[in-house]
């Protein structure tokens, strides 16, 4: 007869199961899509690699986010794939132009290979963060609840879809979670400086990813306040301890920020101004500093109607699984009947505040309405749902014999994550287009999905490497998959009614690739789509989940009347 696993053995068995459950979802088909932002980060990462290897540290800022963690990953991938890149003296590439891609192919290197390697490294980082989060959470709750919380969060379709890409929010969400959990362990379990340092360092990494992670500071403050109020020591000692903890936490964050960003070594003022100046300008003035020219507090505005908050919460419900909804409902009896009420209830409150904090921040900010901005909220709410399901499983312990409970709980621990995975599979590899049973449309769509199929289709044409495709939003999303020449049909041409340029570039192309899935969100595309409809049939239509995403036209089939109609809408540019 087999001896039952020790508590330690069960903990590490669940850790191994966690890896088995979540890692394939980050690795399989990891090169079948690029979103519209990702190619820019690939180019910025290459520029970062060039700057670091040439000791031009002041040039390691390319976007105010600042995205340093992302750029380190791409730079590492470049060092693995194309270390000679640093030696050609090509300098820095504009992430909005095709020059980087042309340079890579001139040296027999494919940008898509760089993306693939970057994503493997990215997946390894995410896995390490998920494992660390599980180990920390298992110090606060039972390992089974910790396992469910982290696993359900990692494989939830909306988070999975975004975390598979080289965007900022996937890592950001886990850095934020790690910071919260590590501080909670420090405050409630083990007063070891190690946990405080991990919490601060994780926040530093979150800030190196995206400045919006500043929202976690409010939760950290709440945690220190509650720790201070629940202490029985004299008030002076409580206050001083909270101050010391915060200072140590902040120092760990600042050191991480400084050490891992070479730009901070030589020009800290410039780096901080670009990051936080632009962040405040965007949030309160609706544009970056190069547009607003300066921060003008007297002109700061927020979305105060509450519509922004409700918008994000509505889209969250549209893109979250019923498994998460039921898990959140189970947190109600968990809150009321938890064995360790102090730790469990405070965790639930902190996670709820964290999730709602990101929603509130972006709901108030100007012009920031993309659902992936609140990916940290998805993680927070999914972790809460996992705690709810963990509590429900634990209740079986008092109602069934030990042998029955062991089998039933083990089955639940496997089936619940598999059910979460199964809900996203019909949407693979575009998991973020998942639509809940109550949703009329996906919370995110038109983010680059379908372009890989379009690139593959034209790549099968005879002499594909000699073809020219004129593609809306085609920078990287399409061009990385197409061996011929890609000319980008820029959205600004449509916004400015600059149809003369469109006609000129279209006439030189072999194929026109349009993206009608965005016609509702980008009504300016309607003019071009409308001119073609009923006049020329697409050679190929690409549909995803029953929706028309892409139309491919053979330019040779486009009649002169289309060009004339486009020129009739042209507005001469100054």
Q: Pseudo-torsion of CA 554, 555, 559, 561, nearest 10°?
A: 130
- pLDDT band at residue 70, thresholds of 50, 70 and 90? very high
pLDDT, tens digit, 9 for 90 and up, residues 189-219: 999 999 999 999 999 999 999 999 999 999 9
Q: How many residues does the chain have?
A: 574
Would you say 234 and 284 are in contact if contact means Cβ atoms under 8 Å apart? no
Q: What is the mean pLDDT of the chain?
A: 93
Percent share of the chain, pLDDT over 70? 94
Rg, the chain, Cα only: 25
Q: Please report the pLDDT score of residue 407 as a whole number.
A: 84
299, pLDDT greater than 60:
no
| 76-98 mean pLDDT | 97
Q: Please report the pLDDT score of residue 99 as a whole number.
A: 97
pLDDT, tens digit, 9 for 90 and up, residues 459-498: 999 999 999 999 999 999 999 999 999 999 999 999 999 9
Q: Which of 453, 404, 462 is nearest to 430 (CA)?
A: 453
Q: Please report the pLDDT score of residue 290 as a whole number.
A: 55
* Burial class of residue 438 in the structure, from the number of CB atoms within 10 Å of its CB (0-12 exposed, 13-18 middle, 19+ buried): exposed
Q: Please report the pLDDT score of residue 6 as a whole number.
A: 82
Q: Please report the pLDDT score of residue 300 as a whole number.
A: 47
pLDDT, tens digit, 9 for 90 and up, residues 502-534: 999 999 999 999 999 999 999 999 999 999 999
Q: Please report the pLDDT score of residue 367 as a whole number.
A: 60
CA 236 to chain centre: 42
Interstrand relation of 468-472 and 485-489 (parallel, antiparallel or unpaired):
parallel
Q: Which of 29-33, 306-310, 556-560 has the highest mean pLDDT?
A: 556-560
- pLDDT band at residue 1, thresholds of 50, 70 and 90? very low
Beta bridge partners of 515: none
- pLDDT band at residue 298, thresholds of 50, 70 and 90? very low
Helix (H) or strand (E) holding 344: helix 341-364
Angle at 154 between CA 152 and CA 155, to 5 degrees: 70
pTM of the model: 0.94
Q: Please report the pLDDT score of residue 7 as a whole number.
A: 81
**What is the three-class DSSP state of 514?**
strand
**What is the three-class DSSP state of 100?**
helix
């Amino acid at each position: 007869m087999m001896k039952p696993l020790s508590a330690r053995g069960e903990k590490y068995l669940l850790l191994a199961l966690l890896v088995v459950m979540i890692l394939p979802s980050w690795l399989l088909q990891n090169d079948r899509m690029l979103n519209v932002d990702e190619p820019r980060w690939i180019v910025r990462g290459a520029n970062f690699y060039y700057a670091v290897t040439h000791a031009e540290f002041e040039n390691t800022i390319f976007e105010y986010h600042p995205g340093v963690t992302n750029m380190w990953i791409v730079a590492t991938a470049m060092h693995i794939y194309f270390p000679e890149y640093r030696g050609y003296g090509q300098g820095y590439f504009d992430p909005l132009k095709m020059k980087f891609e042309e340079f890579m192919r001139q040296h027999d290197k494919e940008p898509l290979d760089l993306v693939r390697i970057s994503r493997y490294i990215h997946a390894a980082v995410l896995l390490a963060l998920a494992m660390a989060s599980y180990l920390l959470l298992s110090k606060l709750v039972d390992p089974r609840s910790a396992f469910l919380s982290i696993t359900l969060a990692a494989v939830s379709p909306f988070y999975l879809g975004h975390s598979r890409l080289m965007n900022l929010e996937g890592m950001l969400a886990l850095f934020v979670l790690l910071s919260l959990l590590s501080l909670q362990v420090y405050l409630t379990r083990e007063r070891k400086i190690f946990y405080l340092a991990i919490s601060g360092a994780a926040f530093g990494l979150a800030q190196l990813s995206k400045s919006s992670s500043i929202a976690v500071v409010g939760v950290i403050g709440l945690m220190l306040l509650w720790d201070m109020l629940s202490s029985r020591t004299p008030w002076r000692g409580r206050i001083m301890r909270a101050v010391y903890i915060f200072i140590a936490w902040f120092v760990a964050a600042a050191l991480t920020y400084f050490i891992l960003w070479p730009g901070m070594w030589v020009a800290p003022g410039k780096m901080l101004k670009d990051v936080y100046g632009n962040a405040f300008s965007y949030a309160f003035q609706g544009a970056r500093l190069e547009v607003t020219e300066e921060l003008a507090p007297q002109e700061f505005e927020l979305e105060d109607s509450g519509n922004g908050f409700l918008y994000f919460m509505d889209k969250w419900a549209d893109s979250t699984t019923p498994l998460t909804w039921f898990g959140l409902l189970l947190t109600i009896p968990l809150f009321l009947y938890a064995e360790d009420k102090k730790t469990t209830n405070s965790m639930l409150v902190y996670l709820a505040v964290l999730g709602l904090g990101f929603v509130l921040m972006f709901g108030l900010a100007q012009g920031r309405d993309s659902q992936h901005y609140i990916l940290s909220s998805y993680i927070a709410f999914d972790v809460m749902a996992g705690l709810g399901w963990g509590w429900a499983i634990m209740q079986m312990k008092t109602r069934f014999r030990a042998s029955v409970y062991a089998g039933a709980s083990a089955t639940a621990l496997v089936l619940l994550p598999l059910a979460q995975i199964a809900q996203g599979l019909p949407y693979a590899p575009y998991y973020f287009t998942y639509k809940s049973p109550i949703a009329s449309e996906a919370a995110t769509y038109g983010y680059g999905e379908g372009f890989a199929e379009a690139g593959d289709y034209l790549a099968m044409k005879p002499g594909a490497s000699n073809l020219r495709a004129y593609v809306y939003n085609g920078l990287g999303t399409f061009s990385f998959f197409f061996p011929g020449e890609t000319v980008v049909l820029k959205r600004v041409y449509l916004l400015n009614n600059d149809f003369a340029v469109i006609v000129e570039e279209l006439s030189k192309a072999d194929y026109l690739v349009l993206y009608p899935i965005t016609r509702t969100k980008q009504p300016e595309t309607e003019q071009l789509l409308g001119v073609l409809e009923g006049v020329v049939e697409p050679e190929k239509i690409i549909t995803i989940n029953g929706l028309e995403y892409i139309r491919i036209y053979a330019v040779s089939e486009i009649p002169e009347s289309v060009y004339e109609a486009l020129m009739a809408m042209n507005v001469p540019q100054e």
